[in-house]
Amino acid sequence: MAATYLHRRHERENYIPHHGGCIINHSMINRNREEGHTRLYHDYFSHTHTYIETQFRRGFRMRKSLFLRIEQAVVAHDNYFIQRSDDVGVRGLSSLQKVTAALRMLAYGTTADSVDDYARIGESTTIESLKRFVKSIVEVFGAEYLRRPNNEDVSRLLVENGKRGFPEILGSIDCIHWKWKNYPNGWQGMYMGHVHEPTIIFEAIASKDLWIWHSFFGLPGSLNDINVLDRSLLFEELAEGRGPQVKYTINGNKYNMGYYLVDGIYTSWPIFVKIITKSQCNKRKYFATAQESIRKDVERAFGVLQSRFAKVRGPSRFWDVETMKYIMTTCITLHNMIIEDKRELQLEEQFDTNVEIPTDILNRNHPNTFREFIEVHAQIRDKQDHIQLQNDLIEHLWQVHGGDMN
């Protein structure tokens, strides 16, 4: 019996659905694919296009120049998107049709057959296009737009957040749940948590401009934020000394690690600064207000991500976690690409170029011995350092901005 169960589980996990081809008793539809391409091209991409740039951004969630850059990169990476002709000269679907269908599914969260009547692309082909599109995006752009912050990135974050009252903050961290509709019934208990529906957890770190610097997706919804943190690459990098090492002084006390703003569920470690609740002291009240205001960066990033790509807002209808992971990672990558595109348009508004950005305060040290690893691990978990850092930040904020309450 156990062998039968393991065999069926192996078949389920390794099942690869096949789309397309002729099916007995199924009617063949002449969709006139060239007409679909012509309509799409004249509506958005010709010199005499029907819809203006503003309408293009609303429909595709990005500027036309960015879309064309993505379309060209995807075509160069995967020849599936290259338009071909059959033996009698009938041209197949174009790259614009396939990429548009995939992007519309991500943007609107619609079903695979929702773009058939406009783009002239069938349901099975739309699903195949989406899967190949998300994989291509991750493989082509993932290294650049899902990277860890480098020295220049971290330095800029420190300068920006220092102006907001929190020196040496690296961002805000939080988790959200993505509902999974078509989950295997046998996994229901593992993926069901406080949401009371099967979900998969997404952990992220975001900055003020809503750029997502860290993402970790795939753990079952029965876990909480702390369980996710213990398994994410963020904690692994910090424990191994590969995270950003920052030296600074607050209220006369020296520190050598940056920190993140979190909510109350996280543990009292010096890499986290949590909100203070039920405080009667004016200093602590002001700190709680300021901390909560800046911590909203990651919640705002979640909100914008889900608004741009409704696919990750509604319940997932896919059967396997791997496809869902590619979809989530692609949406994050496109989200960061859109932010960069807007940043280039409004560089002077987003950043003060007259501010000198320090570049010599970062030091990524790798523990050379197991003893050093244990020391770093203990330093990350030091509760007394957490309390000291929080108290120093309370004093610092009050001294710098406390008068603003009057």
Q: Which two tokens stand for residue 387?
A: 């309390």
Domain residue spans of the chain: 27-144, 151-405
Q: How confident is the model at residue 365 (pLDDT cuts 50, 70, 90)?
A: low
Q: Are 186 and 170 in contact (CB under 8 A)?
A: no
Q: Which two tokens stand for residue 7?
A: 């065999």
Q: Are 200 and 221 in contact (CB under 8 A)?
A: yes
pLDDT tens column, 145-204? 998 888 888 888 888 888 888 888 888 999 999 999 888 887 777 888 777 788 999 999
Identify each DSSP E strand in 130-238 by its residue range.
Answer: 169-179, 199-206, 212-220
**φ/ψ (deg, to 5) at 175:** -130, 150
pTM across the whole model: 0.83
Q: Are 206 and 215 in contact (CB under 8 A)?
A: no
Q: Which two tokens stand for residue 84?
A: 């071909």
Give the whole-number percent of the chain exceeding pLDDT 90: 31
Q: How confident is the model at residue 362 (pLDDT cuts 50, 70, 90)?
A: very low
236 alpha carbon, distance to own chain's centre = 19
d(CA 15, CA 11): 6
Q: Are 93 and 83 in contact (CB under 8 A)?
A: yes
pLDDT tens column, 113-151? 888 778 888 888 899 999 999 999 999 999 999 988 888
Q: Which two tokens stand for residue 15?
A: 């099942």
Identify each DSSP E strand in 155-229 by its residue range.
Answer: 169-179, 199-206, 212-220
pLDDT at 70: 96
pLDDT > 70? residue 346: no
d(CA 317, CA 321): 11
